[in-house]
Amino acid sequence: MIKINNYLSLAFCLLSLSTPLILSGCNSQKTEVTNPVNNDTLKLLYWQAPTILNPHLSTGFKDSEASRITLEPLASFDKNGELVLFLASEIPTLENGGLAPDGKSVTWKLKSGVKWSDGTPFTANDIVFTHQFISNQKVASTTAGSYQIIEKVEALNDQTVKISFKQVNPAWFLVFVGTEGQILPKHIYEKYNGENARSAPANLIPIGTGPYKVVEFKPGDTVIYEPNPNFREATKVAFKRIELKGGGDAPSAARAVLQTGDADYAYNLQVEAKILTELETAGKGKVVANFSSLSEQIFLNQTDPNLATSDGEKSSFKNPHPFLKDKTVREALSLAIDRDLIAQQLYGKTGQATVNMLVAPSQYNSPNTSYEFNPNKAVELLDNAGWKDSNNNGIRDKNGVEMQILFQSSVNPLRQKTQEIIKQGLQKIGIGVELKSIDPSIFFSSDPANNDTIEHFYADLQMYTTGNTNPDPTNYLKRFTCLDIPQKSNNWNGLNVGRYCNPEYDNLWQQSTTELNPEKRAQLFIKMNDMLVNEIAVIPLIHRAETVGFSNRITGINLTPWDLNTWNIAEWKLQ
C-alpha cells in the first residue's frame, strides 16, 4: 500500500529534476425480512432500492454499492487514503516503471488467473473496453467526466495495461480506481456499446470478478447473490447467499437491524439522531457513522425550469432563471436558512453545519469561508433589489414575476423535515415555496427519458448529498465547469445540475489538473471551493456522516470514506 499524498510529494520532487512542471417522505410499507437468523445468509436492507447494477449508468450510490459486490476496480483507497489492490498486482510507482517520468501515463500490471464469474479470463482488454464504453457519448455514462483526461488505453499484453493521458496528470489514480473505477467485461457488453447500453442484460444480472455473483434481480425490490465460483480467493467468501431487500423506509430498516435483529446491515440511515439512539438500546446492532467527504447540499437552478426552448427543452442554458440568476437573491436565500437548527434537531452527532463544498480530506477544507443565519439581512437585500410584495399576496414580486419556487428532493423522512425547516425560513422573508419529493430510484436514476432526475432539474431548488469519492477532488470539482452542464444535446450527461458557468472557475479547474506541486494544487482546490461558496452557486448545509446499521453478529467491517460500504464484503463474516 502507498499513501497518495506521500506519492505526490515524491513524484513532484523527482519530476522537477528531469522535466518542467506542467481531481425522501417515506413509504408507509414496512421492510419485509424473511428467515431472520441464518448463519449462511447475509441480509442487507436498502430502503433506497437499486434499480440498475451497472455503476456507470447511474448517479445513485445505492446502485453502485449493490454493483460493488460483483464488480471490482484495479485498486481502491482505505480509510487512511492508502491504495489497496483488487485486480492489479502492484501499485504503479516511478521505481517500478509504472509511472512515467513525464507524468503523462501510468502502467498497471494485473493479477494473473483472474476470471469473470462465467469463467471467462479477465484481461487488459476488458479495461480497454471499459474505457471505450464509458467514453462513448452514445452510452451517456454518468462517470464519463472522470475519464475525459485519457488519451488512450492500450493492452500491452493480457496482464498489462497502459493508460496515456492528454496532458500531465497528477491524479493518475482517479481512473479505474475506487467507486467510479469498476471494470466491465468486454465479452458481455461489446454488443451494447452505444445507444442500446441501457438494454444490456448484464445491467440486471452482472458478470463480475468479485466475491459474489447475482442470481436474481428485481429492480426496486430485491437482489440475490451467491458465491462466485471463479473468485480468486474463494475461501474468503463466508456466505452461501446474500439477500439485498429494497423498499420500506429508513426508520424501518434501522429498526430491523438495531432493534429486532431481523437483518444484518441497513444502508444510508438518514434518520433523526434521537431515534437511532433509542433503537440502539435494544442491543441487537450498532450505528456506524462514517464521516467522509459527503455533505447535504441545495442546488440552485440558474436556468428557467418553466420556460421551454423551441425544441421543448426546459432548464436550458439559453433561458436564465428569472431571479436565481441574481447573486443577491441567492445570498438572501442562504441567509434565510438556519443550518445550525437543522444540524442540532435532525442530525445530532451524525452531522454538522457547513459552508464548504470540500470538507475532506482536511487539507482541502477552506478556512476562508463562513455562513450566517440572518433573516433581517435577507429581507433588506431583497428590498434593495426591488423584490417587494406589490399585490399583498404574501409573496415578493418584481416586473410581474412572482418569487415562487419549487423545492424538490428525494423521498426520505429526514429530507422532508429539512425541506420544511427551509420552507418556513424562506416564507418568512416573502418567498413562496412548494415542496416536492421524488422516489430516489427515479431521482438518482440518470434516465435521460425521465424528467424527474437530478440532471433534468425541472425545479428551482433541489437537495441531495454528494461529495468527492476519492482523496483527490479533481473529478468532484469538475461538476461545476461549463462543459459538465447536462442538457438535451448531450443526452443529459453531466453533473453541473445548477447550470453554473464561470470561465474563471473553469480556468482554475484546468490548472489543478496539471499542477504537480501538492501544496499549489491544494490552494487551487480551496480557491475553487471559495468561489463556489462566495458566488452561492450551491448552498452546502450539513457535513453528514454516512450512517449505516450493522448487526452485532457481523465482523470484518472496514468502512472507508473513499469507496462504497460493500468494498470489502469478501471479508464480512457472521460470528
My answer on whether omega of the bond before 361 falls inside 30° of 0, hence cis, is yes
Question: Which superfamily does CATH assign the domain made up of 75-200 to?
Answer: Dipeptide-binding Protein; Domain 1 (3.90.76.10)
Give the model's confidence band at 355: pLDDT under 50 very low, under 70 low, under 90 confident, else very high: very high
pLDDT at 246 over 80: yes
**Spatial contact of 103 and 517, defined as CB atoms under 8 Å apart:** no
Positive or negative: CA dihedral 113, 119, 120, 122: negative
List pLDDT tens digits, range 300-346: 999 999 999 998 999 998 999 999 999 999 999 999 999 999 999 99
Q: With both helix axes pointing from N to C terminus, report the angle between 518-535 and 4-18 in degrees, rounded to the nearest 10.
A: 120
pLDDT at 63 over 80: yes
Q: Tell how strand 432-438 and strand 461-466 pair up.
A: unpaired
Question: Residue 26 has what pLDDT?
Answer: 33
Give the model's confidence band at 38: pLDDT under 50 very low, under 70 low, under 90 confident, else very high: low
Mean pLDDT of the residues in the chain: 91
Min mean pLDDT across 2-11, 71-80, 143-152, 402-411 is at 2-11
Question: Residue 29 has what pLDDT?
Answer: 37
Rg (alpha carbons) of the chain, rounded to whole number: 24
| Whole-number Å distance between alpha carbons of 238 and 72 | 18
pLDDT at 20 over 80: no
The grid cell for 421 is: 425547516
Positive or negative: CA dihedral 429, 431, 435, 441: negative
**Going by C-beta distance under 8 Å and a sequence separation of 6 or more, which residues neighbour residue 53?**
63, 66, 67, 70, 202, 203, 204, 205, 206, 214, 217, 223
Give the model's confidence band at 37: pLDDT under 50 very low, under 70 low, under 90 confident, else very high: low
List pLDDT tens digits, range 168-196: 999 999 899 998 999 999 999 999 999 99
Question: Residue 291 has what pLDDT?
Answer: 87
pLDDT at 361 over 60: yes
| Share of the chain residues as helix, strand and coil, in percent rounded to the nearest 5 | 30, 20, 50
Percent of all residues in the chain with a pLDDT value above 70, rounded to a whole number? 93
* Burial of 466: CB neighbours in 10 Å, binned 0-12, 13-18, 19+: buried
Domain spanning 30-70+210-284+552-575: CATH 3.40.190.10: yes
CATH number for region 293-545: 3.10.105.10
Q: Return the bridge partners of 88, or none.
A: 110
**Going by C-beta distance under 8 Å and a sequence separation of 6 or more, which residues neighbour residue 390?**
397
Question: Residue 30 has what pLDDT?
Answer: 39
Q: Tell how strand 432-438 and strand 404-410 pair up.
A: parallel
Question: Residue 21 has what pLDDT?
Answer: 22
List pLDDT tens digits, range 535-549: 999 999 999 988 899
**Going by C-beta distance under 8 Å and a sequence separation of 6 or more, which residues neighbour residue 309?**
316, 318, 319
List pLDDT tens digits, range 112-165: 999 999 999 999 999 999 999 999 999 999 899 889 999 999 999 999 999 999
| Whole-number Å distance between alpha carbons of 79 and 70 | 21
Percent of all residues in the chain with a pLDDT value above 90, rounded to a whole number? 79
How far is CA 548 from each of CA 38, 436, 565, 570, rounded to the nearest angstrom? 21, 26, 9, 18
Question: Residue 566 has what pLDDT?
Answer: 95
pLDDT at 288 over 60: yes
Angle at 407 between CA 316 and CA 365, to 5 degrees: 85
Give the model's confidence band at 14: pLDDT under 50 very low, under 70 low, under 90 confident, else very high: very low
pLDDT at 34 over 60: no
**Range list for CATH 3.10.105.10 in the chain:** 293-545
**Range list for CATH 3.90.76.10 in the chain:** 75-200
**Spatial contact of 171 and 512, defined as CB atoms under 8 Å apart:** no
**Range list for CATH 3.40.190.10 in the chain:** 30-70+210-284+552-575
**Going by C-beta distance under 8 Å and a sequence separation of 6 or more, which residues neighbour residue 452?**
438, 442, 443, 458
**Going by C-beta distance under 8 Å and a sequence separation of 6 or more, which residues neighbour residue 375?**
335, 336, 425, 428, 429
Cα torsion through 319, 323, 328, 331, rounded to 10? -100
